[in-house]
């Protein structure tokens, strides 16, 4: 029996087709969520989830108060990888969760030895945004994403950064649902605070331990969602 595409997969396929056809070029602003939702016959949450995943991969850029834009240098390979990932089975998603754990832990360890004061300030800002938006799910998730992206940059390894962002994008829908359905924002905030403290101490062992604890907790939440 052929697999039925999810709303998020439908939206992502549409966005990728438009990008690869040349209709949308770097710098172009995408139609508003409401317009795309009407055109594709899906809910606005599906538009938001697909756009957020493509933003992680560097294909799109969300500018608060302005809209969503096509970024320069979007990778066609990563676009196709994301499209494939949206159709993953639960078993393969479980495999990716394990891969993500290893990459996130390595990134945290590397970042502890290389993070700059400026990057620490940005991480603190993203953590503050998470704390201020415990009751605003979309804003909390965005701040969470930006925290991890800044940590990726602080790790100072472009290959590691691209790998972890690709894997993270493939399981993003599951991650967001685990946060939303389980009401785990407070726990997630505390875990991010411990990671930041370890980075501020510039202690690789402490950073590894803090990220490992966060990943174990996240895996438990994800497993409940997958089940």
pLDDT of residue 36: 92
pLDDT of residue 77: 46
Question: Which one, of 104, 126, 110, lies nearest residue 199 by Cα?
Answer: 110
- 174 vs 10, higher pLDDT: 10
> How far is 214 from 227, CA to CA, in rounded Å?
20
CATH 1.10.10.10 residue window(s) in the chain: 7-78
* CATH topology (fold) of 7-78: Arc Repressor Mutant, subunit A (1.10.10)
pLDDT of residue 166: 80
HSE value, Cβ hemisphere, 13 Å, CA-based, for 23: 9
- 2 vs 146, higher pLDDT: 146
Band the pLDDT of 4: cuts 50, 70, 90: very low
Return the CATH number of 88-226, one of 1.20.58.220, 3.65.10.10, 1.20.120.530, 4.10.110.10: 1.20.120.530
Sequence-ordered list of residues with C-beta below 8 angstroms from that of 208, at least 6 positions apart, any chain = 105, 108, 109, 112
Give the pLDDT mean for 113-125. Answer: 97
Nearest-5° Cα angle at 163, 182 to 211: 45
User: Which of the 8 DSSP states describes residue 32?
Assistant: P
Say how many C-beta atoms besides its own lie within 10 A of residue 101's C-beta.
Answer: 18
Question: Which one, of 46, 47, 53, lies nearest residue 82 by Cα?
Answer: 53
- 185 vs 191, higher pLDDT: 191
Nearest-5° Cα angle at 32, 80 to 27: 60
Count how many residues are written for the chain. 227
pLDDT tens figures, 23-50: 787 788 999 999 999 999 999 988 888 8
Task: Report helix angle 137-155 to 44-56, nearest 10.
Answer: 10
Where are the strands (E) in the chain, listed by range?
60-63, 67-70
Band the pLDDT of 141: cuts 50, 70, 90: confident
Question: Is-contact 46 10, C-beta < 8 A?
Answer: yes
Question: Is-contact 9 86, C-beta < 8 A?
Answer: yes
> How far is 156 from 21, CA to CA, in rounded Å?
34
CATH 1.20.120.530 residue window(s) in the chain: 88-226
Residue 7, Cβ density class (10 Å: 0-12 exposed, 13-18 middle, ≥19 buried): middle
Question: What is the percentage of the chain residues whose pLDDT exceeds 70?
Answer: 79
pLDDT of residue 74: 54
pLDDT of residue 167: 82
């Amino acid at each position: 029996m052929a697999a039925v595409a999810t709303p998020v997969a439908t939206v992502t396929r549409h966005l990728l087709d438009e990008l690869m056809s040349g209709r949308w070029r770097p710098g172009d602003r995408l139609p508003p969520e409401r317009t795309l939702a009407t055109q594709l016959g899906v809910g606005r949450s599906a538009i938001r989830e697909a756009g957020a995943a493509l933003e992680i991969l560097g294909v799109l850029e969300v500018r608060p108060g302005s809209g969503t834009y096509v970024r320069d240098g979007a990778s066609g390979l990563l676009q196709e990888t994301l499209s494939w990932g949206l159709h993953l089975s639960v078993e393969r998603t479980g495999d990716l969760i394990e891969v993500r754990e290893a990459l996130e832990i390595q990134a945290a360890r590397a970042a502890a030895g290389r993070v700059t004061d400026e990057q620490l300030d940005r991480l603190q800002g993203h953590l503050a945004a998470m704390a201020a938006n415990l009751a605003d799910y979309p804003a909390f998730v965005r701040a969470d994403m930006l925290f991890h992206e800044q940590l990726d940059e602080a790790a100072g390894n472009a290959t590691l950064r691209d790998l972890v962002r690709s894997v993270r994008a493939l399981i993003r829908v599951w991650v967001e649902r685990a946060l939303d359905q389980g009401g785990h924002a407070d726990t997630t905030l505390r875990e991010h605070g411990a990671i930041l403290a370890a980075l501020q101490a510039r202690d690789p062992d402490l950073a590894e331990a803090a990220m490992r604890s966060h990943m174990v907790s996240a895996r438990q939440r994800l497993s409940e969602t997958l089940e």
